[in-house]
């Protein structure tokens, strides 16, 4: 049975062309989101942030060639499901017992402070579920600063 050894959220996953080795850039612990005081945040608000979910599964030699279906679910701090993604994968190389999967995500649920949850599992394979969480915090931005930025005329 495949064993999940890494599950994380990060800013970006870079895959080296020749070796296909992954590099994880800026692993998330917390995301600070600028908000304007006394301004309501819309339900299901999403920030235009690009980020990624990375999973690394270890296999046994007997699992070579078996296709697995990975489910990834992201739930915002409000408890609302943000995305649900299905990936199919298998290992075929004789000298590689790892499956490396990543999902590029556009948008981050920010309507509620708290923890964004990433849940992952293999369909039909017992004891493969795992969860990763990172916090979303609202940071107050001075209203005057926001208004000044909106009214400024940048030099061209």
**Residue 30 is part of a domain; what is its CATH number?**
2.60.40.10
Q: Is residue 119 part of a domain?
A: yes
Structure confidence by residue, pLDDT tens digits, 3-23: 999 999 999 999 999 988 999
The span from the CA of 16 to the CA of 100, in Å, is 13
- 140 within some domain: yes
Tell whether 57 is covered by a domain.
yes
The answer to whether residue 155 is domain-embedded is no
**Which segments of the chain have a pLDDT < 50?**
152-153, 155-156
Q: Which tokens go with 27?
A: 């692993």
Does some domain include residue 83? yes
In a domain, 27, yes or no: yes
Quote the domain boundaries for residue 51.
3-149
Calculate the alpha carbon distances from 35 to 1, 13, 45, 107, 147 in Å.
45, 28, 12, 16, 13
Structural domain total, the chain: 1
Q: Is 30 inside a domain boundary?
A: yes
pTM, full prediction: 0.86
User: Rounded to the nearest 5 degrees, what angle is found at the Cα of 55, between the Cα atoms of 115 and 105?
Assistant: 60
């Amino acid at each position: 049975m495949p064993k999940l050894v890494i599950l994380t959220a990060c800013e970006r996953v870079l895959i080296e062309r020749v070796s296909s080795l992954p590099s994880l850039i800026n692993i998330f612990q917390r995301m600070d989101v600028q908000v304007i005081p006394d301004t309501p945040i819309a339900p299901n608000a999403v920030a235009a942030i690009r980020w990624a979910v990375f999973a690394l599964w270890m296999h046994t030699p007997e699992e070579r060639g078996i296709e697995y279906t990975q489910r990834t679910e992201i739930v915002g701090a409000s408890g609302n499901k943000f995305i649900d993604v299905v990936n199919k994968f298998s290992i075929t190389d004789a000298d590689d017992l790892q499956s490396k999967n990543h999902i590029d995500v556009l948008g981050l649920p920010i309507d509620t402070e708290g923890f964004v949850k990433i849940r992952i599992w293999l369909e039909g394979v017992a004891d493969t579920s795992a969860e990763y969480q990172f916090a979303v915090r609202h940071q107050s931005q001075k209203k005057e600063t926001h208004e000044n930025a909106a009214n400024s005329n940048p030099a061209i």
